[in-house]
Chain A
Amino acid sequence: MLGTLLIVFREVIEAGLIVGIVLAATKGVAGRGLWVSFGVAGGVVGACLVAAFAGALAALFQGAGQELFNAAILLIAVAMLTWHNVWMASHGREMSRELKAVGAEVRAGGRSLLAMAVVVGVAVLREGSEVVLFLYGIAAGGGATMAGMLTGGVLGVLLGAGLSALMYLGLLAIPAHRLFAATTGLITLLAAGLASQAAAFLQQAGLITVLQTPLWDTSGVLKEDSMLGRLLKTLIGYTDQPNGLQLIAWVAVVAMMLTLMRLVNGSARQRAPSVVPQPAE
């Protein structure tokens, strides 16, 4: 039972962290709970579909279907996270002014919340498909240990969700005027990590076979497979033996985020000259 619990807990945490960050990043935006719930539900449905059709998917593209699918959905999540940060950079100033002035929830563009719902859906689909396959295998196997293992699975989901909720509450403890910067940073690192994972899948697919040599090895310091290693892998893209392509992907996403946010922030200031006195720079 413990083994099952740990495996399921690990997968749920990896998705739960992302959901928690998304929720913290959209705090104060009207309707975000509903959108995130749709994202989770969509992810669960998607996970069941992927699990059911795992064989057919893998057979596509000369046996590289699964890797290409994983890379594609990870890159879609990167694009959605980028969209969110850029949108917030463009509108964040107005939003925080509105929040303070009106004290009520802000109307965000439906597209920004849709983007976050997609991110949540991708995360739940990725981890969920593994949980579904694993638990299905146990249920189909049957036998005396089945009840114990299924209990472990359910407990793993509850514990994983619980720890993710704690992390979300921890994020909310950040003072309101710093929360925006904190979640922007978390989303940037999250996207960079997802891009690094996508790079590895593209190489595993055989689509890209260059830049595959590991650049360094920190598994002596922190193994990627350890609990902390997995948490860091989700949060910042930690991998104990990154190769050239992964490093380039990580740096490129961070650079792209910073550049795009700066670009729209600059034009946002030009668009709406503020009557609120700007702090001296």
Chain B
Amino acid sequence: MIMTRLAFAALAALALASAAAADPAPIPVTLKNHQFTPNLIKVPANQPVVLNVTNADSLAEEFDSTPLKVEKVIAGGQSGLVRIHPLRPGRYAFTGEYHSATAQGVVVAQ
């Protein structure tokens, strides 16, 4: 059906347009005792950013941030790559959703 073919073509075009860019060097972030270290992460503005979040606790946590447009569950003892789109200069809060009282941090783009 033509709709399906159009959709696939559009998706392929978008993926190809994105293929050229490689992942930037990941910034390590550790979650331990339901706290992020570092909890203030400085990144260059207007460039894609990748965080390598290591969950050093035994239980899963969800790395969640609406302004960064990311949400990712990271199992206990595992790491996850969190890809962030180019950010305008500013402060962007993130939390560990399952322990949001203590698991908090900010990404500062400048």
A243: B residues at CB distance < 8 A? 69, 85
With CB as the reference atom, state the residue of chain B lying closest to A11.
Answer: B97
Does chain B have a CB within 8 A of A208? yes
Interface of A is mostly: helix
A170: B residues at CB distance < 8 A? none
B48: A residues at CB distance < 8 A? 209
Interface size on B, residues (CB 8 A): 33
In angstroms, how far is the closest chain A Cβ from the Cβ of B35?
A: 15
Residues A200 and B15 in contact in the complex (CB < 8 Å), given A136-B59, A205-B83: no
Does chain B have a CB within 8 A of A213? yes
CB <8 Å contact, A134 and B98: yes
> How long is the Cα–Cα vector from A224 to B67 in the complex, in angstroms?
9
In angstroms, how far is the closest chain B Cβ from the Cβ of A86?
A: 11
In angstroms, how far is the closest chain B Cβ from the Cβ of A120?
A: 22
In angstroms, how far is the closest chain B Cβ from the Cβ of A31?
A: 28
CB <8 Å contact, A66 and B69: no
Does chain A have a CB within 8 A of B60? yes
A133: B residues at CB distance < 8 A? 60, 62, 73, 98
Question: Per-position contact with B for A188-221: 1 when CB-CB < 8 Å, else 0?
Answer: 0000000000001001111111111100000100
CB <8 Å contact, B80 and A63: yes
With CB as the reference atom, state the residue of chain A lying closest to B46.
Answer: A213
Does chain B have a CB within 8 A of A14? no
CB <8 Å contact, B83 and A206: yes
CB <8 Å contact, B97 and A141: no
CB <8 Å contact, B60 and A54: yes
Question: Per-position contact with A for B52-86: 1 when CB-CB < 8 Å, else 0?
Answer: 00000011101000110111111101101111011
B23: A residues at CB distance < 8 A? 206
Q: Which one, A51, A63, A208, A219, contacts B18 given CB within 8 A?
A: A208
Q: Which one, A3, A55, A225, contacts B75 given CB within 8 A?
A: A55
A129: B residues at CB distance < 8 A? 73
A205: B residues at CB distance < 8 A? 83
CB <8 Å contact, A240 and B59: no
With CB as the reference atom, state the residue of chain A lying closest to B21.
Answer: A209
B25: A residues at CB distance < 8 A? none
Does chain B have a CB within 8 A of A280? no
In angstroms, how far is the closest chain B Cβ from the Cβ of A192?
A: 15
B83: A residues at CB distance < 8 A? 64, 203-206
In angstroms, how far is the closest chain A Cβ from the Cβ of B94?
A: 12
CB <8 Å contact, A58 and B72: yes
> How long is the Cα–Cα vector from A243 to B82 in the complex, in angstroms?
18
> How long is the Cα–Cα vector from A39 to B61 in the complex, in angstroms?
27
> How long is the Cα–Cα vector from A198 to B81 in the complex, in angstroms?
18
> How long is the Cα–Cα vector from A240 to B69 in the complex, in angstroms?
10
Residues of chain B at the chain A interface (Cβ within 8 Å): 3, 14-15, 17-18, 21, 23, 48, 58-60, 62, 66-67, 69-75, 77-78, 80-83, 85-86, 97-98, 100-101
- Known contacts A133-B62, A204-B83, A208-B14; 6 additional CB pairs below 8 A are A58-B75, A62-B81, A140-B58, A206-B18, A241-B69, A260-B3
Q: Can you name 11 A-B residue pairings with CB atoms under 8 Å?
A: A63-B80, A129-B73, A137-B98, A208-B15, A208-B18, A213-B85, A219-B67, A223-B66, A245-B14, A256-B3, A260-B3
